[in-house]
Structure 1
């Protein structure tokens, strides 16, 4: 479990120019990242708790994970969180989405990860995820499904904090085992100590991964101009990048 500074995270098969308000993010020091798992785009900040569950493929079960986490939080706080058929979690009443899910399965291993909005800035979240160019781009890239309503735990229980939510989930999982090792990791330190981790992080931060990984698309600009883009490059000119400052 972890939190991070303001960041928009897109799914593996998505187009950032469709999903993200790139100019707003640039102006407000909001980072952009692409993850290895599929699914839709999410906004993270320090009021959000990210949760990752790493298991074997045989043990992978998103509905079971979400029910376990929601039950633990509902018991601790004055909230009513309910998982839905899309493997999101919603605050009731109002079907307010407070958590989105993504997963990846490979070589018999699996991870299921999800967001948990505890104390969110909904205005910044909304602006970050509303691209002004989404209707000008034609693409087969996976498009996010917008939630009709978004909520966060502190709306319903002011006593809830990211740290309290984290400790509540840890405590619930500890009850499942005779012994349970809890470790807090200094990510910066681990990165400096491990060249393999450092290499992976550099790849994830690269333009080639964040923008160039986008499926090919067509941009319909002003004066009926049409631009074909493949691997983040304007088709027909292998040196000309499609603008990240649109």
Structure 2
């Protein structure tokens, strides 16, 4: 077994399109024995999950009017607000080295150094005093894995609530009346905590966790042309907004694993196009759901008969049963 090589990169840019490009580039280019920790910040930004509808998640017009940026990441999960009061972390590694509990412990142990006791709860949140200060998301590509998250240190919540839109279904399911009612800045728990101090603690605990010294990377080590290809895609309208077809039928529901918004185009009684938006953590779920229904007639009885003996995962069974009920209305 080859010895692990730890690397740390701290991009100087606050451009979300570039920082997300650096993250994806490093995931693609990393060697098998490398574990890379990326620590980065974005200026005023809304970052949406891989399968989310941007118009539903944020006030795009106001964000862009105030010189903010909309970015889409490759991982699943929900929309988040970034500003310079927020620190982002990314762990990039092979699947064989991926251990969520270990990665989270690096973050929570670093926080202990700043007198903050935290716990991972639910599907992707880190909480302190019962309030969220970190959202996490995950992505797999072949034998490579990405775990990244946010850390609210001194974020401007008035700006966050101005741009983020939380769906009524999410509010009802979580029993909340506002974003600010369920999130907290780390500064509220320790007024002396700083982003620079947190960065140093995370890097130290990263090295301690794996028992290896890390090498500090610079952006000069990256292939500028390959990085630019990803950057240009990230900033493009097609990537951030997508070619959203005009939909004839739309319905949505919130499941235990996330919200699902299904939009159908029907031609001559057949479902010929499906656009699905979701904040589900598993980005593959959307493609699987599309495959379940594309090409079928918009007929609840036919769909029910086809999937009467379906033996797939419970999440898909739940979607099928809900889908049949919705189609039954048409």
Q: Provide the secondary structure at the position in 2 that maps to 1:171.
A: helix
Partner of residue 106, structure 2: 68
Pick one of 43, 47, 60 that aligns with 1:9: 47
Relative CO higher for 1 or 2, CA cutoff 8 Å, sep ≥ 6?
A: 1
Pick one of 88, 92, 110 that aligns with 2:145: 110
Partner of residue 167, structure 1: 200
Partner of residue 136, structure 2: 101
Structure 1 residues 29 and 230, CA, compared in 2 at 3 Å: closer, same or farther? farther
Partner of residue 154, structure 2: 119
User: Runs (4+) of structure 1 moved beyond 6 Å?
Assistant: 228-231
Give the gaps of 5 or more residues in structure 1.
136-144, 221-227, 232-246
Q: Provide the secondary structure at the position in 2 that maps to 1:52.
A: strand
Matches within 5 A, 1:214-225: none
Q: Provide the secondary structure at the position in 2 that maps to 1:55.
A: strand
What's the RMSD between the two structures over aligned residues? 2.9
Mapped contact 2:109–2:205 kept (Cα < 8 A): no
Count of residues in Structure 1 that have an aligned counterpart in Structure 2? 208
Pick one of 218, 221, 227 that aligns with 1:197: 227
Q: More helix by proportion, 1 or 2?
A: 2
Per-residue Cα deviation, 1:106-163 (whole angstroms, up to 9, x for no partner)? 11110100011111101111121127xx68xxxxxxxxx8865001111111111111
- Give the Å deviation of 1:102: 0.7
Mapped contact 2:138–2:147 kept (Cα < 8 A): yes
Give the gaps of 5 or more residues in structure 2.
1-38, 169-173, 251-264, 266-272, 276-330
Counterpart CA distance in 1 for 2:226 and 2:157 is 36
Please identify, of 120-129 and 59-68, the stretch whose mean Cα deviation from structure 2 is larger.
59-68
TM-score by length of 1: 0.75
Matches within 5 A, 1:38-77: 38-74=76-112, 76-77=113-114
Structure 1 residues 130 and 218, CA, compared in 2 at 3 Å: closer, same or farther? farther
Higher Cα Rg, which structure:
2
Pick one of 115, 126, 130 that aligns with 1:89: 126
TM-score by length of 2: 0.57
Counterpart CA distance in 2 for 1:121 and 1:91 is 18
**Does residue 1:207 correspond to 2:219, yes or no?**
no
Partner of residue 185, structure 1: 218
- Give the Å deviation of 1:183: 1.6
Counterpart CA distance in 1 for 2:202 and 2:245 is 37
Mapped contact 2:50–2:76 kept (Cα < 8 A): yes
- Give the Å deviation of 1:51: 0.5
Structure 1 residues 214 and 162, CA, compared in 2 at 3 Å: closer, same or farther? farther
